[in-house]
Amino acid sequence: MRILVLGAGGTGGYFGGRLAQAGVDVTFLVRPARAAQLDRDGLQIRSPLGDADIRVAHVTTDALPALAQAQAQPFDLVMLSCKAYDLDSAVDAIAPAVGTDTAVMPILNGLLHYPVLDARFGAERVLGGLCFISAVKGADGEIVHLPSPPSMTFGERDAARNGSPRTRALEDLCAGADGFDATRSEQFLQAAWTKFSFLTALAAATCLMRASIGRIVETDGGTVFLTALHDECLAVATAEGHAIPPDAAAHARGLLTRAGSTVTASMLRDLESGQDVEAAQIVGDMRARAHAAGIAVPHLDAAWVHLQAYRTRRETPQTP
């Protein structure tokens, strides 16, 4: 299986790098500045599960069309690991690599990228994908994996295709790689909603309070706030036909209300470093779905207002 990974940032760099480390045929699709870093230093992973310094194949977006035309064997899988606000440029960038039998697998947070990918490449080419990890690209391009168990879940979105050769092939490749767990799911949409409901509550809470779960829990009213926020997300999942199973909901609730937890969403890390945030695709989307279903979500409403204000202040910093 030949894999093209768009983005060598926190997630693409980690999961793509671990696959490359295991000898899988991985090429990174990157922009020129990242290509120069990879030429100079290789792909560096700094992780409690083991560091890695890997010479990886890479191609720039400008050079991809020529490479795709010249290659004897097309890419079998394109893994998309950009931020949601870069989706349009990423879709244009990968298009030359997507042939008749190429699968496209996003590992972005949220759900709104699926209709975009389906419209561009055809739903039958688009696999479901998601990941759990805490990882950032450091100042020198190194991928820093912060303590947290990394995992990737993928699967066909149309259950009639479950067990497809492409998902089985990816499962086999992941099984041979160290540094993350992988699950081939036969209920991918449910897995996606389980993550989306957890992540939205986590991102809304930690961004609104600018604090980790443990810091919020130790306040007067913190656990009540976190519980209410999570309940709002669970109600939306139910309204969307993807009620979160009780054991998964209880697991998420435990993580969201654990005393002393240092967990934050990657959105808070982005916000605190002054970057753009995937607010519309996570908190905004969950809130919009709630309003469409007639569900009152006052905590999500507050988080959504907060994140919009952050974004407008970031765009026009001269105005308070």
Ligand X SMILES: CC(C)(CO)C(=O)C(=O)O
Ligand Y SMILES: NC(=O)C1=CN([C@@H]2O[C@H](COP(=O)(O)OP(=O)(O)OC[C@H]3O[C@@H](n4cnc5c(N)ncnc54)[C@H](OP(=O)(O)O)[C@@H]3O)[C@@H](O)[C@H]2O)C=CC1
Judged by CB under 6 A, which of 4, 21, 34, 217 binds ligand Y? 34
Judged by CB under 6 A, which of 11, 21, 153, 257 binds ligand Y? 11
Which of these ranges, 79-87, 163-171, 211-219, 224-232, lies near ligand Y under the rule CB under 6 A? 79-87
Q: Alpha-carbon distance 28 to 20, whole Å?
A: 10
Q: 125: which residues sit within 8 A by CB, 6+ positions away?
A: 98, 102, 103, 104
Query: Is 134 in a helix, a strand, or coil?
Result: coil
Enumerate the β-bridge partners of residue 317.
none
Q: Which residue's CB atom is positioned nearest to ligand Y?
A: 9
Q: Alpha-carbon distance 315 to 65, whole Å?
A: 33
CB of 110 to ligand X, least distance (A): 10
CA dihedral 203, 204, 206, 208 (to 10 degrees): 140
Judged by CB under 6 A, which of 56, 79, 93, 297 binds ligand Y? 93
Q: Which is nearer to ligand X, 121 or 180 (CB)?
A: 180
- Residue 109 found at the interface with ligand Y (CB under 6 A): yes
Contact, 13 vs 45, CB < 8 A? yes
Q: Which does 265 bind (CB under 5 to 8 A by kind): ligand Y, ligand X, none?
A: ligand X
CB atoms < 10 A from the CB of 80, how many?
26
Q: Alpha-carbon distance 60 to 39, whole Å?
A: 12
Q: Which is nearer to ligand Y, 81 or 197 (CB)?
A: 81
Q: 45: which residues sit within 8 A by CB, 6+ positions away?
A: 13, 14, 17, 18, 21, 51, 52, 53, 54, 142, 143, 145, 179
Q: Which does 86 bind (CB under 5 to 8 A by kind): ligand Y, ligand X, none?
A: ligand Y
Judged by CB under 6 A, which of 3, 5, 8, 248 binds ligand Y? 8
Q: Alpha-carbon distance 319 to 262, whole Å?
A: 33
Q: Which is nearer to ligand X, 52 or 283 (CB)?
A: 283
- Residue 4 found at the interface with ligand Y (CB under 6 A): no
CB of 113 to ligand Y, least distance (A): 8
Q: Which does 202 bind (CB under 5 to 8 A by kind): ligand Y, ligand X, none?
A: ligand X
The DSSP H or E segment spanning 26 is strand 25-30
Q: Is 137 a catalytic residue?
A: no
Which candidate in 137, 145, 195, 306 is catalytic? 195
- Residue 82 found at the interface with ligand Y (CB under 6 A): yes
Convert residues 245-274 into a mask of x (bound to ligand Y by CB under 6 A) and - (unbound): ---------------------x--------
CB of 292 to ligand X, least distance (A): 24
Letter string b/e over residues 256-265, b meaning 16 or more CB atoms within 10 A of that residue's CB: bbeeebeebb
Q: Alpha-carbon distance 174 to 152, whole Å?
A: 9
What are the catalytic residues?
195
Q: Which residues bind ligand Y (CB under 6 A)?
A: 6-12, 29-31, 33-34, 61, 81-84, 86, 89-90, 93, 107-109, 131, 133-135, 137, 266, 278
